[in-house]
Amino acid sequence: MAWKTAGRHQVIYGPLIGMLLTACGSNPLEHSPPRETIRRSEVIQRAEVYAQHRWRPTSANVRHGRDAQAIQVDTPDVGYAKCGWWRPGRWNQGMPYQWGGFDTPTEFDQKVRSGLAAGDVYTAAKRAGLDAAVSREAAGIDCSGLISRCWQLERSYSTRELPSLCVPLSSYDELRPGDILNTHNAHVLLFADWGNTAGTQMWVYEAGSYPTWKVLRRQVDCSALREKGYLPFRYRHILE
């Protein structure tokens, strides 16, 4: 196992990450049975696979309108006015955000090939509707779905449920790779690394909402997260 020193902590990056990224969709990440424990290195590897996933949609995967169940669907393609990003006919990187999504990379690719909507952005109406606002005609993953996949849970746990699987941390200083920063019934981030030695910046993975609408790794300011009420938690069954 390889170790990388970054900021004030040692961060684990498993040696298999290159193999995982090369395969993208057909490796042990796919359809693995739920596990009682998972290592931090595996959690980060899984998040990176989602962030690096390459996929090629067509115009058939663009959707702006209601599905058969009258649920509004808006894909974050370049035609979407509010910061759409993916382009039909081109290779795109990062699995798109889908409200209520819980797809593996292979499942997502299969759904894209079958013509389902590639992603479905968050709206206030979807927040109000919760599970009833999840479209079966869309593909992708949302913020809590990403955490659930990275922790290899048996289903997608919402931001309301994830803390019940965790031990609360007393401060951000205790965060280790694979821990989370959660806001109840709102959003969740996966902690990856410290962004500086002072501990004022951190790297996180997320199935991003506005303006990103995809899984990515980005740097965030700790004070901004505190102001927004993000609380740190550690999955009870995570191993070093």
Three-state DSSP state, 56:
coil
- pLDDT the model gives residue 33: 58
- In this model, does residue 223 exceed pLDDT 60? yes
* 149-188 pLDDT, tens digit each: 999 999 999 999 999 999 999 999 999 999 999 999 999 9
Flag whether 151 is in a domain.
Answer: no
- pLDDT the model gives residue 82: 76
- In this model, does residue 148 exceed pLDDT 90? yes
- In this model, does residue 24 exceed pLDDT 90? no
Same structural domain, 101 and 78: yes
Quote the CA–CA distance of 73 and 76 in Å, as a whole number: 10
- Structural contact between residues 163 and 183, judged by C-beta atoms closer than 8 angstroms: no
Tell me the percentage of the chain whose pLDDT exceeds 90.
82
- In this model, does residue 2 exceed pLDDT 90? no
Flag whether 16 is in a domain.
Answer: yes
Average pLDDT value over all residues in the chain? 89
Same structural domain, 93 and 121: yes
- In this model, does residue 17 exceed pLDDT 70? no
| Span 118-136, average pLDDT | 96
Same structural domain, 18 and 69: no
- In this model, does residue 75 exceed pLDDT 50? yes
| 102 CB-near residues (< 8 Å, 6+ apart) | 141, 142, 145, 148, 149, 155, 156
Quickly tell me which residue has 């997502």 as its tokens. 108
The two tokens of residue 182 are 């959660």
Domains: count for the chain: 2
Flag whether 235 is in a domain.
Answer: yes
Same structural domain, 160 and 42: yes
Give residue 209's pLDDT band: very low, low, confident or very high (50, 70, 90): confident
* 23-47 burial code (b ≥16 CB/10 A, e <16): ebbebebeeeeeeeebbbbbbbbbb
Give residue 16's pLDDT band: very low, low, confident or very high (50, 70, 90): very low
Identify the weakest region by mean pLDDT among 1-5, 7-11, 42-46.
1-5
The two tokens of residue 215 are 């899984």
- In this model, does residue 80 exceed pLDDT 60? yes
Same structural domain, 6 and 119: no
Q: What are phi and psi of 52, to 5 degrees?
A: -95, 0
Quote the CA–CA distance of 79 and 9 in Å, as a whole number: 42
Would you say the C-alpha torsion 75, 78, 84, 85 has a positive or negative sign?
positive
Flag whether 97 is in a domain.
Answer: yes
> Which contacts of 77-80 are long-range, i.e. CB under 8 A and separated by 24 or more positions?
77/118, 77/119, 80/121
| 109 CB-near residues (< 8 Å, 6+ apart) | 25, 55
- In this model, does residue 141 exceed pLDDT 70? yes
Which residues span the domain enclosing 163?
A: 2-51+156-239
Same structural domain, 11 and 126: no
Same structural domain, 142 and 72: yes
> Domain boundary residue among 92, 121, 146?
146
Flag whether 93 is in a domain.
Answer: yes
